[in-house]
Amino acid sequence: MDWRGPAVVVALLAIGAGSGYAASGATRDTSIGTGSGTPIPARNPEYPVEADLPFAQDPDDPTLQPGLQMRTETRGEGKFEITFPAPVGWTSNTNASNEWKWKQPGTSNNTYVMRIEQIDSQDITIEDAIDVRIERLEREQEDVDILARGADSLEYTYRSNEGNARHSFMRWLDLDQSGQADVEIVVHGRQRDVPGTRDLIRRVADGMRGATGGVVE
């Protein structure tokens, strides 16, 4: 029996295995690092960006126009009485003993609405009242954008609870020149209502009188 054939094959396999191991050992990095392992930052990392949520479609009610016909309204009693112009045909609801809301009957939600609140009991300056309002807006509403801030006014946009884009104007009045804010007025509307809502809040604020009969300049 010839045993040399299998023996030669076994010898060749052993030589090949040894050579392969030696070659792989020569190509390995055998250096030992120091310190603890740390992640390597990526080059120009890109973070996932959430797409902007589209606004809900505006109600298609007619646009609020400037120059509404106005009538004189009176709210409050005694030294807290206020008199001011309000749109003819709009109805009012009492939200609280010192807060009232006006809306044109038949209009959809998220169209236009006016709110007047007496805040004289809060003993707060107009500047501080504006700061408080901005803080509340940013805490309670979404997509708030402060467009303009004046000495007694604020203009901003935000997303309503129903997802609609809202454009709002606010004014604060010191009716008795005490240095404290007495009245807060806000008119909300759609973007298309801006000329009308801006005109409305200007006329209401300019025509408001306190119990002493003084006109706000």
In-domain check, residue 47? no
pLDDT tens track for 123-139:
899 999 999 999 999 99
Look up the CATH number of the domain holding residue 135: 3.40.1000.10
Cα 79 from chain centroid?
36
**What's the CA gap between 118 and 79, in Å, rounded?**
12
Domain hosting residue 89, numbered range: 70-206
Domain count along the chain: 1
In-domain check, residue 24? no
In-domain check, residue 45? no
In-domain check, residue 191? yes
The pTM of this model reads 0.75
* Rg from Cα positions in the chain: 36
pLDDT tens track for 69-106:
999 999 998 888 999 999 999 999 998 889 999 999 99
> Measured between alpha carbons, how far apart are the two ends of the chain, in Å?
125
pLDDT tens track for 51-60:
678 999 999 9
Q: Which two tokens stand for residue 11?
A: 């010898």
Any idea which residue has 């009308």 for tokens? 196
In-domain check, residue 177? yes
Other beta carbons less than 10 A from residue 162's beta carbon: 10
**What's the CA gap between 136 and 128, in Å, rounded?**
12
**What's the CA gap between 196 and 100, in Å, rounded?**
20
Helix (H) or strand (E) holding 12: helix 4-27
- Of the ranges 33-47, 59-73, 149-163, 181-195, which one carries the lowest mean pLDDT score? 33-47
In-domain check, residue 82? yes
At residue 128, the 3 state secondary structure works out as: helix
**What's the CA gap between 145 and 163, in Å, rounded?**
15
In-domain check, residue 6? no
In-domain check, residue 3? no
